Amino acid sequence: MKAEIITIGDEILIGQIIDSNSAWIAQELNKIGITVHQISSISDKEEHIIDALNQAKERADLILITGGLGPTKDDLTKHTLVKYFNTKLVFNEQVHEQIKILLAQRNVEMNKLNSLQAELPENCEIINNSNGTAQGMWFEQNNTFFISMPGVPFEMKKIVTDELIPKLKREFKTKSVYHKTVMTQGIPESMLSIKISDWENNLPNGIKLAYLPQPGMVRLRLSCSCENINKFAEIIETEINKLYDIIPNAIFGFNDISLEETVGKLLTKKNKTIATAESCTGGTIAQMLTAISGSSKYVRGSVVAYSNDIKENILGVKTESLIKYGAVSNQVVEEMATGILKLMKSDYSIAVSGIAGPNGGTKEKPVGTIHIAIASKNGVKSHKFLYGEHRGRNIRRSALTALNLLRLEIMNNL
């Protein structure tokens, strides 16, 4: 089965936003064995939409369309589809009710524009959007399937995950693909590829490896497209066990689990709590931990100590340590970590101090110098790292490294 993705919206064509939806959709389709043949970004114009649909249906059986379903005048997709499929809009009572409830939950009153979102093409199957007012629409024409979805990632992803993928699985017999993604942190891609090259070269026939780097981590995707899923799943498990022996500290989980979720699960399981004292990460670790639902059970809190007097007065860092070693030092992060542990009465703590950049570096402590400490009732350990020049990447990498160090500390204390 061949798919195409058409994204509608001038904002992509003028470069105002980057189309990240398509890559995400392609990944999800790949998981159920559907190949994406082409991705086209086109303008919000009726004629252009119709041309793109005509061309896509010559090449593909499944055409996913995103964007242009908002309630405002510049959103033309729905009206164009009505014309294309020679149908008309009908008012859908049930959808209207659903939109009303959704808006009420957001404390927004139903207005004329929102009401129009309940008018939908007569000959399509509605694909429920529980996160927004624009419904997904499934059309069929001569054995080609057209699915229109909103472009808002949060709404589109919910539709794809909850409705579209299950429906595609039900309706089409697609080739089976087995994937397992190994999540790693702490080893840059090029170094990782050297470390694991023997293992990679000896992977059994039929198993493919892809490196999927993200800032601060590398995902390794093992996949096979095969008849006998169970057999291959077993083979892949064996290979992952070998990988553990090569990079024991780097693997933190599987299948796109985040590091903060992994840590959260560990803390929940052990009934332990965490607090953070953050200088250069500025609350990023706290933000990541608390983004997880249910984190109030194990997150005690955090102090972001951007200036030295806060490190002293609130976290209890010694004045002489700041003078002797400077705020960016193992000594100071250790005192920050023990200080926050005491202040927040937590079982574990993380402290980070560093020079995120792009300014503030010196010869001794260049931009990218980061110190991280992990404290618990067993004491405190600190580590020094040297990253790059880019502020955002340094902050992200520091936060991920700190969470992985915490994970290893909890594991060792089991």
Q: Which amino acid is at 108?
A: V
Please give the DSSP secondary-structure letter assigned to residue 46.
H
Which of these, 216, 235, 168, lies nearest to 28 by C-alpha position?
Answer: 168
Min CB(26)–a second copy separation in Å = 3
Which two tokens mark 272? 């332990």
Nearer to a second copy, 11 or 61 (CB): 11
Nearer to a second copy, 27 or 174 (CB): 27
Q: CB neighbours (10 Å) of residue 62?
A: 22
The residue ranges of DSSP E strands in 70-113, in sequence order, are 89-91
Min CB(276)–a second copy separation in Å = 8
Distance between CA atoms of 296 and 153, rounded to whole angstroms? 27
Taking CA atoms, 2 is separated from 20, 36, 174, in Å, by 20, 6, 11
Nearer to a second copy, 45 or 87 (CB): 45
Which two tokens mark 288? 């990541």
Nearer to a second copy, 89 or 343 (CB): 343
Distance between CA atoms of 12 and 294, rounded to whole angstroms? 36
Nearer to a second copy, 72 or 271 (CB): 72
Min CB(139)–a second copy separation in Å = 22
Nearer to a second copy, 32 or 87 (CB): 32
C-alpha R_g of the chain: 26
- Beta strand 136-141 with 125-127 is antiparallel
Min CB(239)–a second copy separation in Å = 17
Q: CB neighbours (10 Å) of residue 1?
A: 16
Min CB(265)–a second copy separation in Å = 16
Which of these, 280, 304, 284, 286, lies nearest to 357 by C-alpha position?
Answer: 280
Which of these, 278, 283, 289, lies nearest to 311 by C-alpha position?
Answer: 278
Which of these, 168, 85, 175, 403, lies nearest to 274 by C-alpha position?
Answer: 403
Min CB(19)–a second copy separation in Å = 6
Min CB(123)–a second copy separation in Å = 27
Distance between CA atoms of 342 and 348, rounded to whole angstroms? 10
Min CB(409)–a second copy separation in Å = 21
Nearer to a second copy, 188 or 204 (CB): 188
Beta carbons of 324 and 367 less than 8 angstroms apart: no
